[in-house]
Structure 1
Amino acid sequence: MSNFFSPRKRLSHLCLLLSGLLAGSYASAQETFPVNGIADPREGCYAFVKATIVKSAGNVLNNASLVIRNGRIVSVGNGPVPKDAVVIDCEGKYIYPSFVDAYSDYGTQPAKKAGGGYRGDPQFLSATKGAFGWNQAVKSEINAASVFQVDGTAAESLRNAGFGTVLSHQQDGIARGTGVLVTLADDRENKVLIKEKASAQFSFDKGSSTQNYPSSLMGSIAVLRQTFLDAQWYQSHPAKEGTNLTLQAWNDSRALPQIFDVQDKWDALRADKVGDEFGVQYIIKASGNEYQRIPEMVATKASFILPLNFPQPIDVEDPNDARFVALSDMKHWELAPTEAAAFEKANIPFCLTATGLKDLKQFLGAVRKSIEYGLSEQKALDALTLSAARIIKADDLVGSLEPGKLANFLVTSGTIFNENTVLFQNWVQGKKYIIKDEGWKDVRGTYTLTLTPGNTKYTLLLKGTAATPTLSLLQQDTLTGSITINDKLIKIAFPLKKGGAQLRLSGVAGTSEWSGTGLDTAGKWVKWNASFSAAYTRQDTAKSKSAPQLGNMYYPFNGYGWEALPKQQDILIKNATVWTNEKEGKLENTDVLVRNGKIAQIGKNLPAGNARLIDGTGKHLTPGIIDEHSHIAISKGVNEGTQSVTSEVRIADVVNPDDVNIYRQLSGGVTASHLLHGSANTIGGQSQLIKLRWGADAEELKFAGSDPFIKFALGENVKQSNWGERQRERFPQTRMGVEQVLTDAFTRARDYEKEGAGKRRDLELDALVEILNSKRFITCHSYVQSEINMLMHVADTFHFKINTFTHILEGYKVADKMKQHGAGAGTFADWWAYKMEVQDAIPYNATIMQRVGVNVAINSDDAEMARRLNQEAAKSIKYGDMTEEEALKLVTINPAKLLHVAERTGSIKTGKDADLVLWNDNPLSIYAKAEKTLVDGIVYFDREKDLELRQRISAERNRLVLKMLSEKKKGTPTQKAAASREEMYHCEDLQAGHQQRLTDGNNEL
């Protein structure tokens, strides 16, 4: 460290060093621990004087003092300095509270998963030994304090980034147990642990659990929901359960801050919704893309922990690589640093975390980047200190510089977020940790250098930064030299003329001047001394950074998203051929008036008034297509196929509004989709009917007021005949066993319904009771006639109905029995021979069932086919000689009837929802294109607008590619270009993974 200390100051610093060593030794001692050596009962008392003290964000004291004793703050301000205090002169320095990280795994070991997995042997029961809960992913009994160990290397990295306190937990499982609040002091665990149980931690990730269930996001949500109910029941009925340490720990931690780790903005809303169900306000540890849905984040009323691990620019120098990078990925790179500013602007409480950064040295740079992108410096400091402490209810201990709080503070050379500011020291629990020695004494200024013999004088200017000063020789032509300072050892070199030999000097810093020896430019030995003339006055010529130029936000966040969500308006469609699906049939040259999202009037020559006018001359207007069997817009798994009965899981929990297939299917005239669980188990999950309101959030997509449905399945998938040789343990393994699963499930449900007060609420059985009481309706995956008959027999036995048999490729064999039972059919037009149980499929199936009197729909089970359901319906004209109007009904009013929403949609009738499609040709023609698709009277797809969007996509991609290339040219680290992925599911997809789809500028994710 280079400095000129007066004798008094040198003595003070020597005392400080000795006191620090003694106090550190004493601080490590504890009453119950033996002392190996001589006990030293003295207290460590320090006074930091003449500093600019930032007590908290916006609360600044100039020329103030901070006094600490025994690891605690005694006073802050201008009070007297205790006589026994070691005085530290902090003139020109700033003192800040050390940062608080509310989300960390410091001092814990990551849990390791032992084998298992999708390709391993199935594991149905928990492998956790002891009196714990039934699911291995629920680890609420884990107490981070019991596994915490001080990690000197990790603590040093965190301290160097400015942190003094962290809330740490073992990041493993759905319920992760309690977190522990610790300081980053290099001390015994007993001393640094300041709050044993500081939080309860959660996620949707099952972590190291090798137990099969859950295998999907909706399964994880179901586990959380059921555990809430079980814990409530256990609290009131412990004798019935026996000892359950997992549920006991869950209940014991309910009063703690509840922190939920999410991986996506929609997961944040999912977590909040579960919390709302049970009266819990989660603190959301965010993923980094929540800025894309700020109004929804506001509505959660949650506090957030925001990461700063912004994505690197993508290496798009090779145009073939760049072609497959989604625009959404490019835009996220550009806009991710706006997250904190967006939260500040929306007044959402938040703090910042270093979690997710590969290198903690990048942390302050990431904070500065957030400031560059709109975050205020005051809010940034608050989010790292007092707000972080308040969110985790630790503001009585840390987060600001107040008497009685822990002595956790930073000593810096200037304002904390200035890129030239040096972090000198981080004091944690009253113990000094040096981050950087150089620059503590600001040596910058003008010096007079004298050489002897000869008494030659030179004027030197030291500028640059306090930590790394630069040297110039001031003469007619100012010349640049070099200076290095290591503690009191100094080395100086500079030329006397441009390009000439250098004068090389070395020496030491004395009390009033520098002095030493060296070689002049002729190689002769000289003596030298340098005396201080004047302090350096910095002339700030640095240009303030202009706000970055950013692209617009899209809703949803992909190329075809809206810059502003569309609004409902009155519309008059003039002079079209209107396919009503009602007794009026097809109406030529007819107008349809839409008001307030409803069909208000149908007729000829209707007055437009203030309505938007759309010319339908030569075009065809139909009801919107309804896909009775779809798997679009589902996140992280369509199957919870780990158990035979999973009626507790809900597609409603995992609706994905960002799925580009919503937009693609609007372009094919689809206005509503029934999102089904897959067909991996006998009784699958609850389904969700949505309207394709492109840009809406998950709740707004849902078809409000529609009847609830559930997915059942029969056949090869259920008995796992196509799952591989390892899957031979889950019951059933035969078609006979399927019937027994059904019988057992409904017997249990019937008995459960009869139980009196105090019963444990079982979400699996709740759904089955709803079926028994005709409050939930079944859609069943089916192929073979024998199984179809079997399921109808089971339903008759338990007095409920099968609403819809889907696939039903042998439906033509049992159509009469289906009609008698009251079941409808959702089938394919001409799929067959794709597995053994569909060998008897015929393309006349739909027509035969319809002629018998069964209500028949044509559905997709496929994101691509759904874009052409009008053509699939038309196949029945060829194969069954069906009329055009009857064929169109296969994908409009018939599925509406199957889904119990025919009073709302499926036909063009006054009073119904304005779910409409304007086609440029006969809708059953292979040449027909949907020109406009309306949902609730809002135009969500417009072919002309689509062309504009494609141009916008191209321009936006080009802008971002050039921006990324510029970053690469500057030397900014880049990430490898990678093909983007989207989630696309079918009935039989068993893993909650992603199906890869390559994209280009005109087919944008």
Structure 2
Amino acid sequence: MKLKLLILGVFLGVLSANSQEYFPKNDGVKTRNTNYTVFKNARIHVDPQTVIDNGMFAIKEGKITAVGKSIDVPANSTVVDLKGNEVYPSFIDLYSDFGIPKPKRAENGSQPQYDAGREGYYWNDHIRPDTEAVANFSFDSKEAEKFHKAGFGVVNTHVPDGIIRGTGMLVALTPEASEGDRILNSRSSQYLSFDKSVQSRQSYPTSIMGTMALIRQAYLDAEWYAGGNADNKDLALEALNKNKDLVQIFATDNLLNELRADKVGDEFGIQYVIVGSGKEYQRLDKIKASNATYIVPLKFPEAYDVENPYLANQLSLEEMREWNQAPANLKMLSENKVPFTLTAHSIDAEKDFKSNLLKAIEYGLSKEAALAALTTVPAKTIGKEEKIGVIKEGAWANFIITSGDYFDKETTLFENWVQGTKTIIEDMDVTNITGKYDLKVNGKNYELSITGEPSKPKAEVKMGETKIGSKLSFEDNWMNLLLSSPDTTKTEFIRLSANVPEKTDMISGKAILPNGNETTFTASRKGDAEKKDDKDKEDKTHKVVPVTYPNIAYGFTEKPKQENVLFKNATVWTSEDEGVLENTDVLVKNGEIVRIGQDLNAGGAKVIDATGKHLTAGIVDEHSHIAASDINEAGHNSSAEVQMEDVIDPTDINIYRNLAGGVTTIQLLHGSANPIGGQSAIMKLKWGASAEDMIFEQAPPFIKFALGENVKQSNWGSTVRFPQTRMGVEQVFTDYFSRARAYESQKKSGEDFRKDLEMETLVEILNGERFVTSHSYIQSEINMLMKVAEAFDFNINTFTHILEGYKVADKMKEHGVGASTFSDWWAYKYEVNDAIPYNASIMNEVGLTVAINSDDSEMSRRLNQEAAKSVKYGGMSEEDAWKMVTINPAKLLHVDNLVGSIKTGKQADLVLWNDHPLSIYAKPEKTMVEGVFYFDIDRDQKMREEIKKERNELIGQMLKAKNNGVKTQPVTKKEKQRVHCDLLEKVQ
């Protein structure tokens, strides 16, 4: 039965494990149990660092009252002799939905842009800080039993629905108690995620970047609301303000999202506790720098079935590495002093938790670190370090009793006590008969080895080197052992039966021979059984392949370093007035071009003989969609608040491929799902670097606009979102910029105003602080947008695509806009029917700054060839054609003072080609970004050999794993997703 909101106040904070003393007692005799239970002869793990051998502790009314080597035993005590068994604090799971019903998915229907379904709450239904786990909670005995069997005593549970999900509650898994008795904290934490609420069909956000923008705006709105500025009551913002001092737990599902969550937290001075992915080892430097505590799922990928060599070829090195490396993640976190806890979320706690934990220990996680991650670290994280996760005076009586080291595969968990209430997992009074024995039956000697849990022992019998078939059963201290007779090839058996004494140095009993005669047997214990784990130590030595940056094929084991380099005797394409210089040297020092000339002195720099080769500036791609986790935020007709910088994916192999094609700088653009898109990310392609380290810091801010079919949703089948027509698109721009003007006026007036991230961005455009790149096709819309911009006193910076630019080039020049176009794309949809391959040449002749862009991950690594097409179409000079992929796009991005040409003082973004750069036969041999060679064709060849060797090694490991009986998963072929402006779904 759900806990009623009416009685919540009774249970705030830490509640007693007993009924409140003021409750009436008029329904029968209610004698309060004030007796002590004292446990003696125990090996007590007080905490991960402190162990008391042969110790004692006492509990009363659900609390621990004393612990030590020797304690006073009160008169009213029940004494339990643990006979050397071990005691640990019971475990704590901070990420759970225990006891919470699954949120009901909203019925199918239209997806509203703005209208929330909850009156009196925030405008966006996915912001739900008012949700309270305590109002939805109902104790689940079956699930609690699974947690008990894994050793857990406390969980932090919440409603797993929405972006800001509301408060969680800390619950003791106490059987047969009231809800109030179990609740240790009814407002223990606030939960967040990047996932929308299933209870709403509200369309925004449709992307990670939209989610991040929404969280930022909600935080700003909550602060504004707290200042008493709102005219109407908002229960969601009230709850968000009320929850701000709670522990903030952010759920993620991949490594990049972990770092993105931390980024948002840092912006608002919030240190999230981050629910991780198990892939933290891939960027330990950034994980450590986050200063976050991580809740890590104890789940590892299964090996792949690679017996079929054709299917094995479809398996990526990234997938194989993850299987190999993931079990070592916890060891690496521990070694790097990253605080972490463990969660059973997403696995079966009863079946998989301990086996996965032992696997992590096999891969190097220390037992002390494992125990801390299950006890003291989560207790401290949730602010209950004095009450749970330890065995100390005053703490809750939450502990488990085991037959030995919990982190031993053969150890039995006997009992799990929560708030002083016992749950029996296995009978603790079962005699432990495991060990090695000399077995004598009917004048013959055998070796008997009994292993396994005391309640479920397993036998192995040998006569010399010959293994004898056997079957052991053990119940109520009666042992029955069935042996195959060694004297015959017939199916005949010797049956042994004995009542085992408490001390098992000697077992004796009755033996019935195959002929029916009865005799006796003896089994003399001679030591502990040899564990299978100890037999084959080599099998337990796991070879973990090194992590690379990024951790996929062609990643660097060591990040390349900046070098001082002298290129000798090159044909230098300057992309400047000097043109192409023959037999010229270029000297690079400290990431900059310092000298250009002939017969230069290296001065200690590395010398590269470039005789017969061509040296150019790195290619600049003005319109790219590589290296992103999202392309579009399609939920609104304006998404000016979203940032492509938030969704940079530094692991995209297209970064490396672009470097192999000579590309060094790109503008990562939002897609074309809406008229006003998102903020651009201008990036340097530094393969192996983190997302933030790729951002071109000196570049000015940009934003993507769009016109045409996509923004009016011609191909989506949508009838909900405005606009639906091209004239509606114009009204979107007019409306938003009118609102931006009004917003700025209010802001400048000194009056209190609500900071709006979307309006802030549009004001930057009005003030000339942010440049606009607009997706465009037909001349009417090109004219329209220029007129709208002029009406609001700003200029469009670049029209991209611009396939009808040749029709309005004169008007574009008058406006002052540049063009970034395709070389020869046409007729791929209706609005490009009039596109011609002479477009770039015509616009160049008129005097526009013209660039050739890609908008495609395949074309982007052949932009040199795309530029060459304008030599054929329109007779453009080779130098002018080359400028369209170097200095011209740099000018459009306002970074031409730094990149785009070979000139002293500029950043050393250079490409050494083996042939004329406009030739289809030309290959970059070396690509340098700021003095670092991120691509080298000789190094690439070596990496290919290393990748081949590593793949074979990992395939061998997987084949061995399958032969050893390890469960495998099938290989599935994954098609690489092609990314363009109109991609609405998440990038795969």
State the alpha-carbon separation in 2 of the partners of residues 656 and 889 from structure 1.
Answer: 28
SS of 1:425's equivalent in the other structure is strand
| Residue 811 of structure 1: how far off its partner (Å) | 0.9
- 1:311-330 counterparts in 2 under 5 A? 311-330=301-320
| Residue 444 of structure 1: how far off its partner (Å) | 5.0
| Residue 139 of structure 1: how far off its partner (Å) | 1.2
Q: Which residue of 1 aligns with 2:233?
A: 243
Q: CA offsets, 1:650-671, max 9 Å, x none? A: 1011111001111111111111
TM-score of the two chains, using structure 1 as the length reference: 0.91
With over 3 angstroms needed to count, the CA separation of the structure-2 counterparts of 1:533 and 1:739, relative to structure 1, is: closer
Q: Is the 8 A contact 2:567 2:587 kept in 1?
A: yes
Q: Which residue of 2 aligns with 1:275?
A: 265
With over 3 angstroms needed to count, the CA separation of the structure-2 counterparts of 1:830 and 1:501, relative to structure 1, is: closer
Q: Is the 8 A contact 1:710 1:779 kept in 2?
A: yes
AA matched with 1:750: R
With over 3 angstroms needed to count, the CA separation of the structure-2 counterparts of 1:67 and 1:735, relative to structure 1, is: same
| Residue 234 of structure 1: how far off its partner (Å) | 0.7
- 1:242-641 counterparts in 2 under 5 A? 242-358=232-348, 360-437=350-427, 440-443=430-433, 463-465=450-452, 466-469=454-457, 483-493=472-482, 498-499=487-488, 501-505=493-497, 521-523=514-516, 536=527, 542=535, 544=537, 546-635=540-629, 637-641=630-634
Q: CA offsets, 1:180-222, max 9 Å, x none? A: 1111222332221111011111111114131110001100111
Q: Which residue of 1 aligns with 2:665?
A: 672
SS of 2:148's equivalent in the other structure is helix
| Residue 121 of structure 1: how far off its partner (Å) | 2.9
With over 3 angstroms needed to count, the CA separation of the structure-2 counterparts of 1:925 and 1:405, relative to structure 1, is: same
| Residue 534 of structure 1: how far off its partner (Å) | 6.7
| Residue 250 of structure 1: how far off its partner (Å) | 0.9
Q: Which residue of 2 aligns with 1:16?
A: none
Q: CA offsets, 1:703-725, max 9 Å, x none? A: 0121000001111111111211x
Q: Which residue of 2 aligns with 1:56?
A: 47
AA matched with 2:745: K
| Residue 73 of structure 1: how far off its partner (Å) | 0.8
SS of 2:67's equivalent in the other structure is strand
Q: Is the 8 A contact 1:283 1:305 kept in 2?
A: yes
SS of 1:880's equivalent in the other structure is coil
Q: CA offsets, 1:711-752, max 9 Å, x none? A: 01111111111211xx11211111111111111101111111
State the alpha-carbon separation in 2 of the partners of residues 475 and 900 from structure 1.
Answer: 85
Q: Is the 8 A contact 2:150 2:349 kept in 1?
A: no
Q: CA offsets, 1:555-613, max 9 Å, x none? A: 11111111100000101111111011111111001010100010011011112232111
Q: CA offsets, 1:664-715, max 9 Å, x none? A: 1111111101000011111010001001111110011000121000001111
With over 3 angstroms needed to count, the CA separation of the structure-2 counterparts of 1:39 and 1:888, relative to structure 1, is: same
With over 3 angstroms needed to count, the CA separation of the structure-2 counterparts of 1:35 and 1:617, relative to structure 1, is: farther
Q: Which residue of 2 aligns with 1:13?
A: none
Q: Is the 8 A contact 1:489 1:509 kept in 2?
A: no
Q: Which residue of 1 aligns with 2:969?
A: 975
Q: Which residue of 1 aligns with 2:152?
A: 163
| Residue 130 of structure 1: how far off its partner (Å) | 3.5
| Residue 858 of structure 1: how far off its partner (Å) | 0.7
SS of 2:608's equivalent in the other structure is strand
Q: Which residue of 2 aligns with 1:142?
A: 131
Q: Is the 8 A contact 1:463 1:536 kept in 2?
A: no
SS of 2:131's equivalent in the other structure is coil
AA matched with 1:103: Y
With over 3 angstroms needed to count, the CA separation of the structure-2 counterparts of 1:37 and 1:570, relative to structure 1, is: same
AA matched with 2:127: V
Q: Which residue of 1 aligns with 2:953?
A: 959
Matched, 1:788 2:782: yes
State the alpha-carbon separation in 1 of the partners of residues 444 and 558 from structure 2.
Answer: 70
Q: Is the 8 A contact 1:484 1:492 kept in 2?
A: yes
With over 3 angstroms needed to count, the CA separation of the structure-2 counterparts of 1:501 and 1:742, relative to structure 1, is: closer
SS of 2:601's equivalent in the other structure is coil
Matched, 1:928 2:915: no
With over 3 angstroms needed to count, the CA separation of the structure-2 counterparts of 1:471 and 1:659, relative to structure 1, is: closer
| Residue 113 of structure 1: how far off its partner (Å) | 2.4
State the alpha-carbon separation in 2 of the partners of residues 918 and 864 from structure 1.
Answer: 21
State the alpha-carbon separation in 2 of the partners of residues 85 and 983 from structure 1.
Answer: 69
Q: Which residue of 2 aligns with 1:91?
A: 83
Q: CA offsets, 1:219-264, max 9 Å, x none? A: 01111110110111111025x2421111111111111111111122
State the alpha-carbon separation in 2 of the partners of residues 474 and 876 from structure 1.
Answer: 83
State the alpha-carbon separation in 2 of the partners of residues 460 and 668 from structure 1.
Answer: 69
Q: Is the 8 A contact 2:708 2:781 kept in 1?
A: yes
With over 3 angstroms needed to count, the CA separation of the structure-2 counterparts of 1:410 and 1:891, relative to structure 1, is: same
With over 3 angstroms needed to count, the CA separation of the structure-2 counterparts of 1:622 and 1:484, relative to structure 1, is: same
Q: Which residue of 2 aligns with 1:942?
A: 936
Unpaired segments of 5 or more residues in structure 1?
A: 1-25, 995-1005
Q: Is the 8 A contact 1:624 1:915 kept in 2?
A: yes
Q: Is the 8 A contact 1:173 1:206 kept in 2?
A: yes
State the alpha-carbon separation in 2 of the partners of residues 175 and 225 from structure 1.
Answer: 11
Q: CA offsets, 1:255-291, max 9 Å, x none? A: 1111111122121111111111101001111111110
Q: Which residue of 2 aligns with 1:751?
A: 742
SS of 1:967's equivalent in the other structure is helix
Q: Which residue of 2 aligns with 1:909?
A: 903
TM-score of the two chains, using structure 2 as the length reference: 0.92
Q: Which residue of 2 aligns with 1:683?
A: 676
With over 3 angstroms needed to count, the CA separation of the structure-2 counterparts of 1:768 and 1:127, relative to structure 1, is: closer
| Residue 547 of structure 1: how far off its partner (Å) | 3.4
With over 3 angstroms needed to count, the CA separation of the structure-2 counterparts of 1:322 and 1:713, relative to structure 1, is: same
- 1:122-137 counterparts in 2 under 5 A? 122-137=111-126
| Residue 396 of structure 1: how far off its partner (Å) | 2.3
State the alpha-carbon separation in 1 of the partners of residues 635 and 457 from structure 2.
Answer: 65
Q: Is the 8 A contact 1:460 1:471 kept in 2?
A: no
State the alpha-carbon separation in 1 of the partners of residues 457 and 129 from structure 2.
Answer: 54
SS of 1:679's equivalent in the other structure is coil
Q: Which residue of 1 aligns with 2:13?
A: none
Q: Is the 8 A contact 1:462 1:469 kept in 2?
A: no
State the alpha-carbon separation in 1 of the partners of residues 621 and 786 from structure 2.
Answer: 24
Matched, 1:833 2:827: yes
State the alpha-carbon separation in 1 of the partners of residues 273 and 127 from structure 2.
Answer: 19
Q: Which residue of 2 aligns with 1:22?
A: none
- 1:141-220 counterparts in 2 under 5 A? 141-187=130-176, 188-208=178-198, 209-220=200-211
AA matched with 2:222: A
Q: Quick one: percent identity of the two aligned structures? A: 48
| Residue 41 of structure 1: how far off its partner (Å) | 2.1
Matched, 1:106 2:98: yes
Q: Which of 224, 230, 239 matches 2:221?
A: 230
State the alpha-carbon separation in 1 of the partners of residues 485 and 800 from structure 2.
Answer: 92
Matched, 1:694 2:687: yes
| RMSD, aligned CA | 2.8
Q: Is the 8 A contact 2:431 2:502 kept in 1?
A: no
State the alpha-carbon separation in 1 of the partners of residues 725 and 459 from structure 2.
Answer: 85
Q: Which residue of 2 aligns with 1:43?
A: 34
User: Which deviates more from structure 2 when the two are superposed, residues 956-965 or residues 898-907?
Assistant: 956-965
SS of 1:113's equivalent in the other structure is coil
Q: Is the 8 A contact 2:511 2:521 kept in 1?
A: no
